Homo-oligomer: A and B are copies of this chain.
Amino acid sequence: MNKKKTTIKDIANVLNISAAAVSKALHDDSRISAKTKAAVKRVAKELNYQPNHLASALRSGKSKLVGVIVPRTSSNFFSSVIQNIEEVLNKEGYNIIITQSNESFKKECNNIDTLLFTQVDGIIASMANETVDLSFYEKIKSKGIPLILFDRGENDLNVDYIGINDYDSSFMIVEHLISKGCKRIAHIGGFRHTRIFNNRIRGYVDAIRKYDLPHEDDLLVESSLTLEDGRLKMQELLALDNPPDAVYIAGDYAALGALQLLKEKNINVPNDICLIGFGNEPFTSLVTPTITSIHQHSEQIGQLAAQTFLERVKMDDLKQTLNKIILDAELIERDSSKKSKRY
């Protein structure tokens, strides 16, 4: 049981060279002879040498850790983004620390403190729904480490951002519904103070206007987009004097809640009311009817977030031209908007 870990000094002793030489040999420094390098690597392997990450991080000032903050890991979108971030960063020798905010501003602040305390080299984050106060994010910036936001996070912080074109996606959804013959299209949106949700609302409104459909105030409601709130807001829409014949909901979970309610009320989806979600969570293809939704290219978002981070750390501090990457999303048509009759 080899509890005492082997260090570069142990290797140095075996070969009768200095620890510095060993360190350099392991990093393929050009000033070390091929012969010495080979010997060092051989002995390192023999002694099962594992570099002490803490020591090198302390000395070099780089922890080779990247913090990731997401509202939750259980959603497929976020776990897919995380997986792709991880793949890209691992190749470059970085490891990631994942934290969840559970949509709580307070937890998010804690997470940021935790990550800074852990001396991460950068943070990739998607903000909690609650988050309005950005002072903790300013704190990250003031530490001088890269901050990359994705999905929830477009704002005035002046940092890199990767997301999808929410405005166009909304527009596309409304046009899709119109092509199915829908005449009164409602929108259960997220909170306006979050820019992505605001953009979805703008896209919805502009499309409605362009095609001269009714854009009554009652047809546009804001929601926390949880499953429960989806039910609730759907109920409100049904209670209207003139209920909609289509509902576009800015989140799949809320769309699911709405769908459950409609089924309970024996309202046929899509023939009575068409339903469209957002996010393309796996369950959208599992429920009955399957739910039309928007695929957000989580793989690309993750990869791009990681690549943006890597660019940032490689870059000299000056000449920081901001990355703002907006991807086109994809409409996945499923049963909940496949109306049989067309008008």
A→B interface (CB under 8 Å): 1-3, 50-55, 57-58, 63, 65, 72-76, 79-80, 82-83, 86, 90, 95-100, 102, 110, 114, 116-119, 142-144, 256, 260, 263, 283, 286-288
Q: How far is the CA of A117 from the CA of B54 in the complex (A)?
A: 9
Additional A-B contact list (17), CB under 8 Å, known A52-B119, A283-B283: A50-B116, A54-B54, A54-B57, A65-B118, A73-B79, A74-B75, A74-B79, A79-B100, A83-B100, A86-B100, A90-B114, A95-B97, A95-B117, A95-B118, A97-B97, A98-B98, A283-B286
Kindly identify which residue among B74, B102, B142, B287 contacts A287, using a CB–CB cutoff of 8 Å. B287
Determine how many copies of this chain the complex contains: 2
Q: Give which listed residue, B57, B73, B287, contacts A82 with CB less than 8 A.
A: B73
Closest to A97 in B: B97
Determine the distance from Cα of A114 to Cα of B192 in the docked complex, in whole angstroms: 41
CB contacts (< 8 Å) of A51 on chain B: these are 117
- Residues on B with C-beta less than 8 A from A57 are 54
With A57-B54, A73-B74, A98-B73 as known contacts, state yes or no: A288 contacts B286, CB within 8 Å.
Answer: no
How far, in angstroms, from A288 to B283 measured CA to CA in the complex?
Answer: 12
